Amino acid sequence: MLLQLENIHKGFGNPADQTYRKVLDDLSLQVSEGERIAILGPSGSGKTTLLNLIGALDHPDAGSVVFRGENITSLSRKEMDNFRNQRIGFVFQFHHLLPQCTVMENVLIPTLMIRDRAARNEKLEWAEHLLNRVGIWDHRDKLPGKLSGGECQRAAVVRAMINRPSLLLADEPTGALDRDNVKKMSDLLIDLNKNDGLTLLVVTHSQDLAGQMGQTYEIREGKITRN
């Protein structure tokens, strides 16, 4: 088992007054190695909240997130950062590329703390390979502002893949894309899943993308159910 979420509770605000909002309510989920999962659910249902817990960007109020047998909810802040950097790739809805950095610089950001020269060179080669594979090699020296939405999203996927994560968490990776680019993005994700063994957890409103995943889940009223 790659990932096990057990009895997760998560809310925001002060539990003592009416600012409190319970978002995830005793949610449990199991993900096997190599699965392709789409997560659906209305706006505000807790999809991003769930990805943030899995990606160790946030702590649950109760319950555990176990990644390959390791309980990541008990890690320190620094251990959480290392875990995320090495095991998880994140693709955000609006790609979050740094506007003042070129595509290549953006892609290499997660590798900046690597000091070993050989390891850095290996990352550079992997970046070159991935940029070619997603068809934006020619754009490597451009700023994100000069690229289309689809090209930026592909750059964001390359950045997420740079440290060869086991799990890719993608939060509406096709939110800003037209149908053609949705198809390209879903082909890319499926290729990474089939050829690199990458497990996919993708939040999406796109029927086209969800249809390419092996399994669909829906979050509603704090629970997750398999469709």
Ligand X SMILES: Nc1ncnc2c1ncn2[C@@H]1O[C@H](COP(=O)(O)OP(=O)(O)OP(=O)(O)O)[C@@H](O)[C@H]1O
The reply to whether 212 sits near Mg ion by the rule CB under 5 A is no
| Distance from C-alpha of 2 to C-alpha of 33, rounded to nearest angstrom | 5
Q: Is 46 in the site for ligand X (CB under 6 A)?
A: yes
Tell me which DSSP letter residue 203 carries: E
Does residue 19 interact with ligand X by CB under 6 A?
no
Of all helices (H) and strands (E), which one includes residue 202? strand 199-203
Is residue 44 a contact point for ligand X (CB under 6 A)? yes
How remote is the C-alpha of 191 from its chain's centroid?
16
- The residue range among 43-51, 119-127, 132-140, 143-151 that interacts with ligand X, by the rule CB under 6 A, is 43-51
For 124, counting Cβ atoms within 10 Å of its Cβ (0-12 exposed, 13-18 middle, 19+ buried), the class is middle
Task: Say how far apart CA 84 and CA 78 lie, in whole Å.
Answer: 10
Q: Angle formed by the axes of helices 149-161 and 179-196, to 10°?
A: 20
Give the separation between CA 14 and CA 9, rounded to whole angstroms. 14
Kindly write out the interface string for residues 81-120 of this chain, putting x where it contacts ligand X by CB under 6 A and - elsewhere.
----------------------------------------
Can you name the residues that pair with 3 across neighbouring β-strands? 31, 67
47 binds ligand X (CB under 6 A): yes
Closer Cβ to Mg ion, 18 or 43, answer by number: 43
174 near Mg ion (CB under 5 A): no
Q: How far is the CB of 210 from ligand X (least distance, A)?
A: 14
CA–CA gap between residue 127 and residue 54 (Å, rounded)? 25
Q: Among 3, 23, 29, 107, indicate the residue that binds ligand X (CB under 6 A).
A: 23
Residue of 23, 27, 41, 48 interacting with Mg ion (CB under 5 A) = 48
Residue 144 contacts which entry, Mg ion, ligand X, none (Cβ below 5-8 A, type-dependent) = none
Q: Which residues bind ligand X (CB under 6 A)?
A: 12, 21, 23, 41, 43-49
